[in-house]
Amino acid sequence: MSTTEPARELSPLEVARATFQRVFERRPELLSRAPGRVNLIGGHVDYNDGLVLPLAVDLEIAVAFTPREDRHVRIHSEQFNETAEFDIADLSPGSVSGWVAYPAGVAWAIAQAGLPVCGLDAAVAGNIPIGGGLSSSAAIEVAFAAAFREVSGLELPELKLAQLSQSAENHFVGVQCGIMDQATAACAQPGKALLLDCETLGIRHVPLPSAMRIVVLCSGVERELRDSEFNKRRRECEEAVSRLNAVDDDIRSLRTVRPEQLQSLLRHLPPPLDRRTRHVVGEIERVQLAAAALESNETERFGELMFASHRSLRDDYEVSSEELDGLVELARQAPGIIGARLTGAGFGGCTVNLVTAALIEDFLGYVTEAYHKLYGREADEFVTDAARGVTVEKVGW
């Protein structure tokens, strides 16, 4: 037996710190980090003022940084092995693209809000798969929002960081996402899911039973049109609201449609708006039921609601894929499963699975082998605990 320990993988914080030192030839003063997320239930309802139940995963983006005297920003990305620079005063939507649009968008959004923003030198590293449906984009936005808050001496609560990050993504990057990903990256608490009301921005932290684990399975397939399809769904929802508002002026968002009104209202909507609406209204109700089930320890009920959510996203919202459907079906047959559904925007990406802790190995063995047999590709898997939202610390050497 060998006595040499296998080399421990460095954490994103360690990588960001070492990268900063290598690129800028001095030590960074500060570190920030923000996690990726999975959403247990509440798919595509955040931008409809609905309720969602996400949690932060223990994968993250880390930023090592030092304030500058001017309003210039230099950022080195360890993942892209590239340094980008910009002046905060020169930023406007479309002026930068690629990975740097996220940090630049955040600096721009803070300035747009009328707040002073100072420059910084930074190195960024991370272990959230890019484009994998775990919201690496919200994590990089929130980690940089916290960094700019720090160097600019701003007093902004975490939720405000989330809102500024969302504004960066909507108006600077050009993706019409809701607030869920950024709010999770900013506000999540360890061991808990976050019941977020996207209308009021009220948050309730719901403890997750320790007897179950969260498993993320990535299909390994991304659809190119994800962002444009996402924006299209959002427009369809807006169109449904404006048609329903013409029938009943109390309807100002799909959140304001009561489940008992749904059937009679659907005849005012042409396809696919009727299906989109049925998904959103049903999904918001499922989140309420699921949060109650979690709080009263009715795990099986919670799992059923997750499967129902997946069916609705597949059939009515049409954001699933063959591989995601396959992963959910295989999970349903696997030992230890409680519930599974696609998570994130869909169109490829990942599923989230709730699994009895004691059966985790059996579960993983069954699903990954069967997936490989059926689709000839590997499902990337990871088991996560519910992690903490954004943090900032001074570097101690």
Nearest approach in angstroms of CB 181 to ligand GLA is: 5
Region binding ligand GLA by CB under 6 A among candidate stretches 37-45, 97-105, 214-222, 355-363? 37-45
Q: Which is nearer to ligand GLA, 46 or 150 (CB)?
A: 46
Judged by CB under 6 A, the residue of 40, 57, 147, 180 near ligand GLA is 180
Nearest approach in angstroms of CB 229 to ligand GLA is: 11
Nearest approach in angstroms of CB 133 to ligand GLA is: 7
- Residue 126 CA to residue 187 CA, distance in Å, equals 19
Residue 238, Cβ density class (10 Å: 0-12 exposed, 13-18 middle, ≥19 buried): middle
Region binding ligand GLA by CB under 6 A among candidate stretches 141-149, 178-186, 320-328, 365-373? 178-186
Residue located via tokens 């950024």: 182
Residue 254 binds to ligand GLA (criterion: CB under 6 A): no
- Residue 355 CA to residue 331 CA, distance in Å, equals 9
Whether the ω angle into residue 271 lies within 30 degrees of 0, i.e. cis, is: no
Nearest approach in angstroms of CB 44 to ligand GLA is: 5
Number of residues that bind ligand GLA (CB under 6 A): 12
Nearest approach in angstroms of CB 135 to ligand GLA is: 6
Residues whose CB falls within 8 Å of the CB of residue 101, separated by 6 or more in sequence, listed in order: 172, 173
**Quick one: which of 130, 125, 138, 132 has its CA closest to 185?**
138
Nearest approach in angstroms of CB 50 to ligand GLA is: 9
DSSP 3-state of 247: helix
Residue 181 binds to ligand GLA (criterion: CB under 6 A): yes
Q: Which is nearer to ligand GLA, 18 or 289 (CB)?
A: 289
**CA angle, corner 195, sides to 275 and 170, nearest 5?**
65
Judged by CB under 6 A, the residue of 43, 103, 126, 132 near ligand GLA is 43
Residue 132 binds to ligand GLA (criterion: CB under 6 A): no
- Residue 140 CA to residue 339 CA, distance in Å, equals 29
Residue 15 binds to ligand GLA (criterion: CB under 6 A): no
Q: Report, in angstroms and rounded to the nearest whole number, the Rg of the chain calculated over CA atoms.
A: 21
Residue 36 binds to ligand GLA (criterion: CB under 6 A): no
Residue located via tokens 């099986």: 300
Residue 44 binds to ligand GLA (criterion: CB under 6 A): yes
Region binding ligand GLA by CB under 6 A among candidate stretches 39-47, 151-159, 221-229, 355-363? 39-47
Judged by CB under 6 A, the residue of 17, 40, 46, 102 near ligand GLA is 46
Residue located via tokens 């047999």: 373
Residue 135 binds to ligand GLA (criterion: CB under 6 A): yes
Residue 35 binds to ligand GLA (criterion: CB under 6 A): no
Nearest approach in angstroms of CB 200 to ligand GLA is: 17
Residue located via tokens 């959403």: 39
CB nearest ligand GLA: which residue? 177
Q: Which of 49, 121, 181, 316 is catalytic?
A: 181
- Residue 110 CA to residue 71 CA, distance in Å, equals 13
The answer to whether 139 touches 128, Cβ cutoff 8 Å, is: yes
| CA dihedral angle for residue 339, residue 350, residue 189, residue 280, rounded to 10 degrees | -70
Two structure tokens written together for 364: 């993983």
Judged by CB under 6 A, the residue of 55, 177, 386, 390 near ligand GLA is 177
Q: Which is nearer to ligand GLA, 43 or 103 (CB)?
A: 43
- Phi and psi dihedrals of 90, rounded to 5? -90, -5
Catalytic residue status for 181: yes
Judged by CB under 6 A, the residue of 324, 334, 345, 387 near ligand GLA is 345
Residue 178 binds to ligand GLA (criterion: CB under 6 A): yes
Judged by CB under 6 A, the residue of 344, 350, 354, 384 near ligand GLA is 344
Burial track 265-298 (b if 16+ CB lie within 10 A, e otherwise) = bbeebeeebbbbbbbbbbbbbbbbbbbebbeeee
Annotated catalytic residues are 181
Q: Which residues contact ligand GLA by CB under 6 A?
A: 39, 43-44, 46-47, 135, 177-178, 180-181, 344-345
